[in-house]
Amino acid sequence: MRLLFTILTLSYITIGNSQEDKTTSQENLSYQADKIVKEATTNILNYIGLPPDFKVVQLDIPNVIAYTKHGDRYIGYNPQFIQRLRIQTETDWSAYSVLAHEIGHHLAGHTEKSGKTNPGNELVADHFSGFILQRMGATLEQAESALLSLEKIGGISDTIHHPPILSRITSLAEGWMQAAALNLDHKVLERTYHPENSESKKYLYKCTFNGDENVYYINVNDQVIWFNERGRAIEIGKKLESKSTNFSWKIEYGRSVYGVDAKGIIWSNTNYNSSFKVGKVEEFTYQESAE
């Protein structure tokens, strides 16, 4: 009986300590994430000369989000996501990168409009993230670290609202190189990845998507192109042949594929074998003149 009592007592102590450690661990996680997120947000705003007027809050969400509520601007984040990101990349620059991205949405006015985000706006925010991180002292590799790790930690992947990772990295690198070019003592090396050459600057179609104010173009090389604010082309998808009799051809966008019918309507298929309209394609012939 005494032995049983001793075992039960030890079990109780072990369980009690385990629960306490778990609670302490959760509190440490919350504290560390809260500290890095608020420091990063303030530092980013300091580098662009703005007061820290964003409200930073922890939310039960998958990752990080920028939004407005009752006229106030918020940055909401999941502390576990922030910590997974820092552990995976082994640098705080990754947290700075995703927060700069969300701040970019606020500064570009994207959060002032209702509805979901769109590929063009995401690439604008990525460009800002690359730009501001370079000004803060991050290398290009450090600035890219978050995007390169998103799939590994269960972050945002390419969807109808978020462009493929390669496109996002290209836009972020454009921002980083733009900032680097402002420093006359810094030699800027152009990326080897250029989606367009002199022969591909002829466009055959323009594409628009419902709820997206951006316009995308398809060139003679069947590349789906978006132009950033500097007029630089970024490839976000491909025009492909369709084996389905319902569609004339299809658009491959990251992991998603959309069908285009004979009337130029862009269709998306659901998991329930139904389709709905998501945009339209119009013929658009333009040959960019040689420089």
DSSP secondary structure letters along 155-189: -----SSS--HHHHHHHHHHHHHHHHHTSTTSPPP
At 136 the pLDDT is 95
Of 118, 126, 276, 122, which Cα lies nearest the Cα of 212? 118
Dihedral sign for Cα 276, 278, 282, 284, please.
Answer: negative
User: Is the CB of residue 253 less than 8 Å from the CB of residue 164?
Assistant: yes
DSSP annotation of 112: G
Residues of CATH 3.30.2010.10 domain(s) within the chain? 29-181
At 92 the pLDDT is 92
Which pLDDT tens digit goes with each residue over 41-52? Answer: 999 999 999 888
Sort 105 into a burial class: Cβ within 10 Å, 0-12 / 13-18 / 19+. Answer: buried
Region 267-277: mean pLDDT is 81
Region 191-207: mean pLDDT is 67
Pick the residue with more confidence: 67 or 154? 67
- Model-level pTM greater than 0.85? no
pLDDT at 275 over 90: no
* Residue at 67: amino acid letter: Y
Helices (H), the chain: 2-47, 79-89, 93-107, 119-136, 140-149, 165-181
At 271 the pLDDT is 67
Pairwise CA distance, residues 132 & 24, whole Å: 35
Across the chain, mean pLDDT equals 81
The CATH T-level fold of domain 29-181 is Zincin-like (3.30.2010)
At 12 the pLDDT is 35
Pairwise CA distance, residues 198 & 5, whole Å: 83
Which pLDDT tens digit goes with each residue over 110-124? Answer: 998 866 678 899 999
